[in-house]
């Protein structure tokens, strides 16, 4: 069985902030992966929170895998079936209305990133390589 560090990492406070950083799923994933070497009560609580509440399934699964490795009895999170962020269409509509009528999907993506980086980042992390195709489809329907 793998041995884990049972003390908190020196940089715990920084990693905790990073694990909860809403505008970068990559930073959250990195933090979860770093924390998965430390089997400590505070780390376990933080990982359970990411597993249950992160908007990006990759981050949820990484937290889940760390918890399972620690011997925690947890259920594997399943990907969201609907919008991962509440009122996505309203957010998208607000962004679209703030642009000139002849804007492109690239203009829309850029403005979304500036106005709501948290939303842009969450869906980019969730959709992966299909993100721009998915975004264009949603944009076209607005």
Domain boundaries, the chain: 12-69, 88-141
Distance from the Cα of residue 20 to its chain's centroid: 9
C-alpha to C-alpha distance for 76 and 74, rounded to whole angstroms = 7
In this prediction, residue 79 carries a pLDDT of 87
Instruction: List CB contacts of 125: < 8 A, sequence separation 6 or more.
Output: 25, 26, 55, 56, 58, 59
Tokens of 81: 């079936």
Tokens of 33: 């992966």
* CA atoms within a 13 Å half-sphere pointing along the CA-CB vector of 112: 26
Tokens of 140: 């076209």
* CA atoms within a 13 Å half-sphere pointing along the CA-CB vector of 38: 21
pLDDT above 80: residue 93: yes
82 — pLDDT class (breaks 50, 70, 90): confident
Q: What is the mean pLDDT of residues 78-103?
A: 94
Q: What is the mean pLDDT of residues 22-47?
A: 96
CA dihedral over 59, 63, 69, 71, signed as positive or negative: negative
């Amino acid at each position: 069985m793998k041995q884990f560090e049972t003390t908190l990492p020196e940089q715990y406070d920084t990693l905790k902030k990073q694990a909860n950083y809403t505008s970068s799923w990559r930073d959250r994933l990195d933090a979860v992966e770093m924390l998965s070497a430390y089997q400590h009560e505070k780390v376990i609580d933080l990982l359970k929170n990411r597993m249950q509440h992160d908007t990006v399934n990759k981050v949820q699964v990484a937290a889940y895998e760390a918890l399972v490795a620690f011997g925690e009895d947890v259920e594997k999170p399943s990907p969201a079936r609907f919008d991962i962020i509440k009122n996505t269409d309203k957010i998208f509509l607000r962004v679209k209305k703030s642009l000139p009528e002849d804007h492109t999907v690239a203009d829309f993506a850029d403005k979304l990133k500036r106005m709501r980086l948290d939303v842009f980042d969450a869906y980019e992390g969730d959709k992966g390589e299909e993100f721009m195709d998915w975004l264009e489809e949603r944009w076209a329907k607005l």
